[in-house]
Amino acid sequence: MRLIKLAVISAVIFGVLLFLISLLFPSKAIVERSGVIDAPMSTVYAQLNDLSKWPAWNPWAADETAQQKQFSNPATGTGAYFTFSGVQHEDRITGKVSIEDSHPDKGIRYKMTFNAMRPVEAFFEIKPAADGKATAIMWRLETHLGYWPWWKLRGFLADRLSGPQLEAGLTQLKTICENEK
């Protein structure tokens, strides 16, 4: 009986310590990638602002990830959205991407939600590159993690998990935009 009581007290103390230590961790996970696309800003913005073009370059909108997609009409500009569903690694996924704000000279801000994950606030920032002919682009994802330790620990993996997908998406976007110019 004494051993069980000691085990329960130890587990409670460990849980409280874990929670208190997790309060020191950031409550927001940020993943960011940037690059330069050798195409005018208008070409890049046209790809970003039209959600129906995203499956060609965005890894989360690709046919392998989102087998069924339904786009709003119109699929461009502030308020545009698409919903998706599919099967990935034998798990059913569903979600929605909606453009919250869109400016041809700045980029777009969008929100992405799927399954039981936390919502992701994201944006593409575009501006003229130093030479004035190309476009500098930054893709940023922000996830508010809350206070639970398991979400905060997951935040440390965000860059490792999502970073390569952002890089692949920007590379595809670069190829598409540079072939259009």
Q: What is the pLDDT of residues 140-150, one digit of tens each?
A: 999 887 777 76
The first and second tokens of residue 22, run together, are 């997790």
What lies within 8 Å, CB to CB, of 32 at 6+ separation is 138, 139, 140, 141, 166
Average pLDDT over residues 56-80: 87
Checking if the pLDDT of 153 tops 90, the result is no
Which tokens is 29 given? Answer: 């996970």
User: pTM to 2 decimals?
Assistant: 0.81
Instruction: Give me the mean pLDDT over the 99-107 stretch.
Output: 94
- For residue 139, pLDDT over 90 is answered with yes
Query: Which residue(s) pair with 92 in the sheet?
Result: 87
Closest CA to 177 of 36, 71, 55: 36
Task: For residue 60, give the DSSP letter.
Answer: T
**What per-residue confidence (pLDDT) applies to 23?**
72
Angle, nearest 10°, between helix axes 41-49 and 158-180?
A: 120
Which domains can be identified in the chain, with CATH numbers?
Answer: 27-180 (3.30.530.20)
Q: What's the one-letter identity of residue 176?
A: I
Closest CA to 121 of 113, 129, 111, 130: 111
| Tokens matching residue 170 | 């920007």
